[in-house]
Amino acid sequence: MCNLNDKLSIKKRRTFAIISHPDAGKTTVTEKMLLLGKVLHTSGTVKARGSGKYATSDWMQIEKDRGISITTSVMQFQYKNILVNLLDTPGHQDFSEDTYRILTAVDCCLLVIDAAKGIEERTKKLMNVSRLHQTPVITFVNKLDRDSLEPIEILDQIEKELKLFCVPITWPISCGNRFKGVIHLDEKLIYLYNKSEKTKIFKVDLHDFKKSLLDKYISLDLTLNIDEELKLISHVYSNFNKKNFLKNIITPVFFGSALSNFGIDHILESLIKWAPSPTYRISNKRKVKPEEKKFTGFVFKIQANMDLKHHDRIAFIRIVSGKYIPGMKLRHIRIKKNIIVSDAFYFIAGDRFYIKTAYPGDIIGIHNHGTIKIGDSFTEGEDINFIGIPSFAPEIFRRIFLKNPLKQKQLKKGLMQLSEEGTIQVFYPFNNNYLILGAIGILQFDVVIQRLKIEYKIDVIYEKINVKFARWIKSNDQKNIDIFVNKNKSYLALDSFNNLTYLAPNKANLEIAMSRYVDINFNSIREQ
Ligand code: G4P
């Protein structure tokens, strides 16, 4: 076990990610948090879309061209006495696989919902993933300064569509032009919203709101409305229960307007009060606890060419136990080699900061000379592998070809590296020499083409191919696999990591195969 000081450092950490449907306000919330954490000093630094000025994290050309954030950066800031690690997730849904993997590296999620739109498609998918890891979720309903759905309706949608019970912690007073602020139900305080003035705060009576005598700020009709709503919510929603929150059964809900930096401090307060400090992770042999003395960690993201001049590739490691100190010897379990790590760093957007000490919950970047893969584990010697880092079956497929066929070797090398990073999935069919790329979103293909051109100096083109589904094939009995392979060669391929994959041209084909071979598992999620 680690010493008391180290234990304290672990207890003082929170590692979380923000998830949302694009445009719900993730970037704006991030920016306001960084302002509150005193990392940023002016608004508009994280993203100034359409203005020709880009976020420091949007350094890749394709991000600049399209004004989207593809890559992930890790931001660290202090709020009160807590050190917060905030993992940025790609804004565009075409890069959702990256987001899924990032969720394996956090202990809590902040879900941002646009108050006018309620639950959107992407939110549902992301929530299914956070459920996979039982990650607790705090919810922020954003943009109350605009016309919104009724708050009760939003909570209904969360309960129905995300299967999470809501516990409102703040409650909005109207919306749009009539938005007056929020009542903090725990603190029994009202925070009045005024764009141009500092927020005014008053004590309120939750049982009889009229008694709070706020008629100078809130009209009579609104006051009566709130009175009724407060009575209703006290009957409908239960109180916050930390155990149920940690089990991902309930979500505390906050309302506000990120653009006006209104309500963000409430979320941060809840994060430091309720979100767990760094939690254990499961390895193939045992549960690894953060307080253990020896260093362990796993790679959840690889990013190539963050600095084009140096052609470097960075592996991002979530520390699970022990602590990082420069110069320490770490064992790279998969390839059974020891390395000395003396220059681990973290990024704030494009800038690197070398790390002196890092604790469980922290994310460190280390140089990768082509040997590290997503899902790899590092320890101080113990032979364990962390599990649970998912790969999702791609949903769109393309065949890729070289403009100059002599560069086949470079193409294979480039695709191998890009698939190790999780940028794209590559399939090698049994029956022909095609190279089939699989992605979740179409933009991934554009990124691959651009990166092959810039980083590997090869020109490629892609075309549609008759594949609609990919499923990883598993069975408890090798005999079943052998029979299946024999009969289905024309639909089979190996992925970059030599996993047997069934590529179906349509749903009917997949369903027939699944009904014919009941002893075979057709998996749409694969662990690294
Ligand atoms: P995202 O990262 O989830 O994609 O969302 P982002 O923060 O970029 O916000 C999407 C749009 O919504 C932005 O406007 C942003 O200014 C706006 N927005 C975010 N929070 C609020 C809020 O509380 N109230 C209001 N009224 N708007 C909000 P945009 O016009 O698309 O971009 P920009 O030119 O303002 O950057």
Assigned domain for 87 exists: no
> Are residues 185 and 213 part of one domain?
yes
CATH code for the domain of 247: 3.40.50.300
Last residue of a domain, one of 379, 401, 428: 379
- In 3D space, the residue among 219, 132, 130 whose CA is nearest the CA of residue 179 turns out to be 219
Closest C-alpha to ligand 1, atom 10: 23
Assigned domain for 35 exists: yes
Between the CA of 272 and the centroid of ligand 1 the distance, in Å, is: 25
Band (68; pLDDT cuts 50, 70, 90): very low
Between the CA of 496 and the centroid of ligand 1 the distance, in Å, is: 38
pLDDT of residue 59: 40
Which position has the higher pLDDT, 306 or 185?
185
The answer on pLDDT for 41 being more than 60 is no
| Cα distance between residue 276 and residue 296, in whole Å | 19
Assigned domain for 517 exists: yes
Assigned domain for 99 exists: no
| Cα distance between residue 280 and residue 318, in whole Å | 11
The answer on pLDDT for 84 being more than 90 is yes
- In 3D space, the residue among 131, 134, 112, 103 whose CA is nearest the CA of residue 17 turns out to be 103
Work out the burial of residue 232: count CB atoms within 10 Å of its CB; fewer than 13 is exposed, 13-18 middle, 19 or more buried: exposed
Per the annotation, binding residues are: 20-27, 88-92, 142-145
The answer on pLDDT for 367 being more than 80 is yes
Within 13 Å of residue 18, how many CA atoms lie on the same side as its CB?
A: 32
Residue 146 CA: nearest ligand 1 atom is 26
143 C-beta closer than 6 A to ligand 1: yes
Per the annotation, binding residues for GTP are: 20-27, 88-92, 142-145
Residue 186 is encoded by which pair of tokens? 């725990």
Pocket test for ligand 1, best of 19, 21, 27, 28 (most atoms within 8 A of CB): 28
26 C-beta closer than 6 A to ligand 1: yes
pLDDT of residue 40: 60
50 C-beta closer than 6 A to ligand 1: yes
Between the CA of 316 and the centroid of ligand 1 the distance, in Å, is: 29
| Cα distance between residue 206 and residue 358, in whole Å | 44
116 C-beta closer than 6 A to ligand 1: no
257 C-beta closer than 6 A to ligand 1: yes
> Are residues 472 and 432 part of one domain?
yes
Looking at every residue in the chain, the average pLDDT score rounds to 86
- In 3D space, the residue among 362, 425, 414, 418 whose CA is nearest the CA of residue 390 turns out to be 425
Last residue of a domain, one of 379, 407, 426: 379
Assigned domain for 97 exists: no
Q: Is residue 43 within 8 Å of 35, Cβ to Cβ? A: yes
pLDDT of residue 49: 39
CATH code for the domain of 485: 3.30.70.3280
> Are residues 20 and 140 part of one domain?
yes
Closest C-alpha to ligand 1, atom 19: 25
Domain count, the chain: 3
Tens-place pLDDT, residues 116-171: 999 987 788 778 777 767 899 999 999 999 999 999 999 999 999 999 999 999 99
Phi/psi region, residue 130 (left: phi>0; alpha: psi -120 to 50; beta: rest), is alpha
Residue where the block lists tokens 């008391």: 4
Residue 149 is encoded by which pair of tokens? 């759905």
According to DSSP, residue 430 is labeled S
Residue 264 is encoded by which pair of tokens? 């963000």
145 C-beta closer than 6 A to ligand 1: yes
Average pLDDT over residues 473-494: 95
Residue where the block lists tokens 């029994």: 188
Of 54-58, 326-330, 364-368, 469-473, least confident by mean pLDDT is 54-58
Assigned domain for 93 exists: no
Between the CA of 515 and the centroid of ligand 1 the distance, in Å, is: 47
Average pLDDT over residues 509-521: 96
Assigned domain for 511 exists: yes
Tens-place pLDDT, residues 391-415: 788 999 999 999 888 888 889 888 9
22 C-beta closer than 6 A to ligand 1: yes
> Are residues 251 and 136 part of one domain?
yes
Residue 346 is encoded by which pair of tokens? 């973290």
Between the CA of 147 and the centroid of ligand 1 the distance, in Å, is: 14
Strand partners, 402: 460
Closest C-alpha to ligand 1, atom 21: 259
C-alpha 408: how far from its chain's center? 34
The answer on pLDDT for 20 being more than 90 is no
pLDDT of residue 252: 98
User: Per this entry, what is the length of the chain?
Assistant: 528
Last residue of a domain, one of 239, 274, 309: 274
Between the CA of 29 and the centroid of ligand 1 the distance, in Å, is: 9
The answer on pLDDT for 222 being more than 50 is yes
Band (53; pLDDT cuts 50, 70, 90): very low
Assigned domain for 98 exists: no
Between the CA of 25 and the centroid of ligand 1 the distance, in Å, is: 5
Strand partners, 328: 341
Band (58; pLDDT cuts 50, 70, 90): very low
Start-to-end CA distance of the chain, whole Å, equals 29
Name the amino acid, one letter, at 228: E
Which position has the higher pLDDT, 314 or 385?
385
69 C-beta closer than 6 A to ligand 1: no
Residue 260 CA: nearest ligand 1 atom is 23
The answer on pLDDT for 23 being more than 60 is yes
Residues spanned by the domain of 179: 12-73+107-274
The answer on pLDDT for 467 being more than 80 is yes
Average pLDDT over residues 319-325: 96
The answer on pLDDT for 107 being more than 90 is yes
| Cα distance between residue 295 and residue 320, in whole Å | 7
Band (276; pLDDT cuts 50, 70, 90): very high
The answer on pLDDT for 48 being more than 60 is no
The answer on pLDDT for 65 being more than 80 is no
